């Protein structure tokens, strides 16, 4: 889905490419490493991947907002409980009752994300003080004690994979084949795109 959104938003893809190549050059310089070494991953520290590529991280976060693989999560009340929402609404739950948390809908709700909630705007995640994050309206990995145990691992893998792809390839819309709207299959609560067709162009500049 990241590739799909980058193909639809070439201006973002261009900025991302610039961020990636510029930072890789800088990191290589700092460590006096030759960039021509094919395996750029040898000089990335965990911190560098996570902290030095803000747009890369924002692009992934925004993709996970628009297309969270887990479109809802659930919690079962283990005892009778009364919950009060931020707005003051009181929810009475009996032990055994299931609460369904609609992640997909929360991620696209204009009440949290503004009128442009449906648009791909990675900039949202460049500003840290997003009201949506405060209100737990962003839950790609769930929340609380049963949230995804692999959030950090999955995120660092995603970042590395995307770094590598963006550096070497450009994603383009293919007018005859690229889906205007992606449709999904939902298996075991995981939403996967049925198909995404793109043109993938190898960049000539290898650095």
Smallest distance from ligand HEM to CB 139, Å: 7
CA distance 183 to 127: 30
150 binds ligand HEM (CB under 6 A): yes
Query: How many C-beta atoms surround the C-beta of residue 159 within 10 A?
Result: 18
Q: Which of 73, 132, 163, 166 binds ligand HEM (CB under 6 A)?
A: 73
Secondary structure (3-state) at 84: strand
**The two three-digit tokens of residue 140, written as one number:** 């790609």
What number of chain residues touch ligand HEM (CB under 6 A)? 14
Q: Which of 21, 27, 93, 143 binds ligand HEM (CB under 6 A)?
A: 143
Q: Which is nearer to ligand HEM, 83 or 153 (CB)?
A: 153
Q: Which residue has the tokens 């991302």?
A: 16
H helix runs in the chain, sequence order: 2-8, 10-30, 46-51, 54-66, 103-107, 110-113, 131-134, 151-168
Smallest distance from ligand HEM to CB 46, Å: 16
For residues 101 to 140, the per-residue mask of contacts with ligand HEM, x marking binding by CB under 6 A and - elsewhere, is ---------------------------------------x
Q: Are 165 and 200 in contact (CB under 8 A)?
A: no
**The two three-digit tokens of residue 199, written as one number:** 């043109």
Smallest distance from ligand HEM to CB 150, Å: 3
CA distance 174 to 11: 17
Q: Which of 3, 12, 55, 142 binds ligand HEM (CB under 6 A)?
A: 142
Cβ-closest position to ligand HEM: 142
148 binds ligand HEM (CB under 6 A): yes
171 binds ligand HEM (CB under 6 A): no
CA distance 168 to 170: 7
Interface residues with ligand HEM (CB under 6 A) are: 69-70, 73, 140-143, 146-150, 153-154
């Amino acid at each position: 889905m990241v590739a799909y959104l980058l193909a639809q938003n070439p201006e973002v893809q261009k900025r991302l490419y610039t961020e990636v190549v510029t930072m890789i050059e800088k990191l290589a310089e700092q460590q006096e490493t030759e960039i021509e070494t094919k395996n750029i991953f040898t000089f990335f520290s965990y911190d560098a991947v996570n902290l030095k590529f803000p747009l890369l991280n924002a692009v992934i976060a925004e993709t996970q907002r628009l297309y969270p693989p887990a479109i809802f999560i659930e919690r079962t009340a283990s005892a009778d409980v009364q919950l009060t929402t931020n707005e003051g609404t009181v929810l009475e739950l009996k032990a055994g009752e299931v609460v369904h948390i609609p992640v997909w809908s929360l991620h696209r709700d204009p009440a949290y994300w503004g009128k442009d909630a449906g648009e791909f705007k990675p900039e949202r995640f460049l500003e840290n003080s997003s009201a949506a994050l405060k209100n737990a309206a962003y839950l790609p990995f769930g929340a609380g004690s049963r949230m995804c145990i692999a959030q950090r691992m999955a995120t660092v893998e995603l970042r590395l994979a995307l770094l590598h792809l963006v550096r070497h390839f450009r994603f383009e819309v293919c007018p005859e084949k690229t889906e205007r709207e992606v449709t999904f299959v939902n298996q075991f609560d995981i939403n996967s795109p049925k198909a995404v067709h793109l043109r993938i162009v190898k960049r000539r500049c290898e650095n």
